[in-house]
Chain A
Amino acid sequence: MPWFRKNKGDTPSANEVQLSRALQQTFRQYTAETEQQMQRDRDALDRGRIPEAAELRVKRTVNRELPWMSTLDIADLYLADEIRMTPLVQVTGSCYFQAATDMNGRLYLDSNYDAANLVHAYYRAKNDAVERMSQEASLAGAHAIVDAAFKFSRNQTVVECSVIGTAVQFEGVRPGKTPLVSPLSGEEFYKLLQVGWIPVNYCLGYHWHCMPVGYRTRSISSLWNFLNQELTPVVERFSDTRRYAIQQMVADARGGPRVDGFVGVSVKTEIEETELRIYAGYRGGYGAFNMMGNGITIDGSFYPFGNEGVAEVPAYNLEFFATGAGIARIGTGRLTKEALGTYLSSLN
């Protein structure tokens, strides 16, 4: 028997194929969005609005044409019910933001060797995502968004921020202009309300610094250094990076309603070795840099400019990323409906 006929017996018969197709047809059939719809969504995003489908979903859910849905788990829902907080609809927000680069896709650094464009991209991605999520919550007439789960990712110079949370309403309280945003779970939200505090917003502290190094710093980590010794210059610069990030986080909190403190702060840090390209004629940098005509001296090492007028300098990327929930004290003991109502009205 020829090889191409060997498995013929295993081929499903026409009846079996027909049966399988019929079975597949019994399932719900999915249809994709049209190209025109996608273009309308892009236009809406460019105008600072949310896509049509999101708007429609929120409206239909609030009008009870569709079942409500919530990211809250059962215990959270029970506690929400206990404080007369009703979940309205699941709300989302997303933004991809590209930091400015040169022709080769490399980041520009400012005069202090900070990646100001990347820092800007992180804040824009986060702010736009939160703004879009808040638009959905406002459409639903929500007072707050609870259990907002944020996800950040970076692919080279493109930063993504996505957030999904549950828009909620307090019974008998007039909706505010802008809903409060809480990255805390329903249970944590409940606990804070029991002791007179309320989550107000989600704050980000981010800083990215590139530290060019030379002989003095590199000699400490050299194989030939047999001493116990701290990399003091890197530690100092990393401390600065952390300080800037936390300053940014506080500034981020001041952009909205009053915040008295942060809880649930999570921190991620990263130090990686890299290579910095410094162009001839660049006058930025630290006091320790000496420009010497055809090269540059950094940290005790001289790096000559190559044929393209570029010196390649070893460096460390120092990154500090912190997020947390900004909370405000609005009473003492368990918050009453009146205290909550007064606070929310004061935000309008």
Chain B
Amino acid sequence: MLGMPEISSLRNPEECSAKWPYGRVKRMVKEAVPIDENQYQDIPQDALERLNRESGHYVFTSDLTVNEFVLVDEAGFEPLGMVMGSSIYHIGFQQSAWSKNQEMTVLSQAMYNARELAMSRMEEEADALKADGIIGVRLEVKHAEWGQHLAEFIAIGTAVRSKDGTSHRTIKGKPFTSDLSGQDFWTLMKTGYRPVSLVMGSCVYHIAHQGMLQMLRQVGQNQEMTIYTQGLYDARELAMERMQLEAADLQAEGIVGVNLHESSHQWGSHVIEFFAVGTAVKRFQESQLATPSLVLPLNDPGQ
């Protein structure tokens, strides 16, 4: 059982106004709570209290719908609690060359690191619950209005644990993560695959502006803007390759439900971020699903 410091001491402005609140909380936890020093380093004390399943009044929380809850149970898992990780990150500056295509590596790295920080904090919360994995992960980016170049990265999901005690952790010993819904999770498990990890790749790319001479050369011509096409291709390829490499690191067989998001955030129309995200999967048993029968609903979803 974790011994908790007074809530008032956590809310003490002097204590909490430091640049590194997680580090500060960690030190406070270390002083007040008899837990392993290296464990749950990044989890605030409030979160540790919420996650303490031994406290006697523990009630699981989840953002699963009723259908999802029932299907997760049917798949042999139980929800343990809603877990979350966040990172408020200052995105650095990089000067782009006006007339050149180039990857903005400082920005790519910032977007990746911040998401990774949020994800790893969420994983630590799940770890504290002794979860096998996290399903329904939502990874969001919000740009703060109160600070320039600041963005808040949030990862939220529901930690689950196998009811039969089988471990479904990754080869790195972390809980698996997945953005699949409860329904998709059930179907995936029944097809004989299991989620390994939410994998992602990011690339922030500056697309060249056209010079006056180039514009004059194009007057009266129907032609492809190869420089734009190449920029788009390269940005997308880099994002997808990075996502695939993450999955390969975890010895996954494939990635399902891949989504490619394209956004300019606050960098103007010539700087775009390609963000590829999907769930890496691995086969662990033969499919247990019966042959589907063709059902054609009579209601029109368009109405």
Contacts and interface: CB of A to CB of B under 8 A. Distances in A.
Given A10-B18, A24-B113, A68-B253, A117 B230 contact: no
A99 B224 CA distance: 9
A59 interface: no
A257 B64 CA distance: 46
Contacts of A99: 222
25 contacts: A12-B20, A27-B112, A27-B116, A28-B242, A28-B246, A29-B109, A30-B103, A45-B226, A57-B244, A61-B244, A68-B254, A69-B254, A69-B256, A70-B258, A71-B257, A74-B187, A74-B257, A98-B224, A100-B219, A102-B219, A103-B219, A108-B220, A128-B224, A162-B232, A194-B294
Contact of A100 (B18, B222, B230): B222
B67 interface: no
Interface in B237-295: 237-238, 240-248, 252-260, 278, 280, 287, 289, 291-292, 294
Interface stretch (A87-95, A206-214, A287-295, A335-343): A87-95
A173 interface: no
Interface in B128-186: 180, 184
A67 B248 contact: yes
Given A53-B234, A67-B254, A68-B253, A95 B229 contact: yes
Size band of the A side of the interface? Answer: 35 or more
A158 B215 CA distance: 12
Given A10-B18, A29-B109, A66 B238 contact: no
Given A10-B18, A41-B233, A68-B255, 13 more contacts: A16-B20, A28-B246, A33-B234, A45-B229, A45-B230, A57-B237, A66-B247, A70-B254, A70-B257, A74-B256, A96-B225, A100-B220, A120-B222
A247 to B, nearest CB: 21
A38 interface: yes
A94 B260 CA distance: 14
A135 to B, nearest CB: 12
A280 interface: no
B158 to A, nearest CB: 17
B84 interface: no
A53 B229 contact: no
A73 B256 contact: yes
- In the A-B complex, list the 10 residue pairs whose CB atoms are closest, starting with the nearest: A32-B103, A69-B255, A96-B228, A96-B225, A53-B237, A74-B184, A68-B254, A67-B247, A12-B19, A74-B187
B230 A79 contact: no
Contacts of B255: 67-70
B218 interface: yes
Contacts of B219: 100-103
B95 interface: no
Interface string A1-16: 0000000001110001
A51 B230 contact: yes
B105 A72 contact: no
Interface string A59-88: 001000111111111110111011000010
A240 B221 CA distance: 27
B59 to A, nearest CB: 30
Contacts of B259: 71
Nearest to A187: B292
A31 interface: yes
A54 interface: yes
Nearest to B19: A12
Contacts of A98: 218, 221-225
Contacts of A65: 248
A60 to B, nearest CB: 8
A296 interface: no
Contact of B258 (A71, A120, A121, A191): A71
A124 interface: yes
Nearest to B111: A30
A243 interface: no
Interface in B90-111: 100-103, 105, 108-109
A124 B224 contact: yes
Nearest to B115: A27
Contact of A90 (B102, B103, B113, B240): B240
Contacts of A61: 244
Interface string A94-133: 1111111111000010000000010011001000100000
Nearest to B234: A33
A78 B184 CA distance: 10
A84 to B, nearest CB: 12
Interface in A302-326: none
A42 interface: yes
B224 A73 contact: no
Given A51-B233, A97-B222, A73 B184 contact: yes
A164 interface: yes
Contacts of B238: 30, 32-33, 53
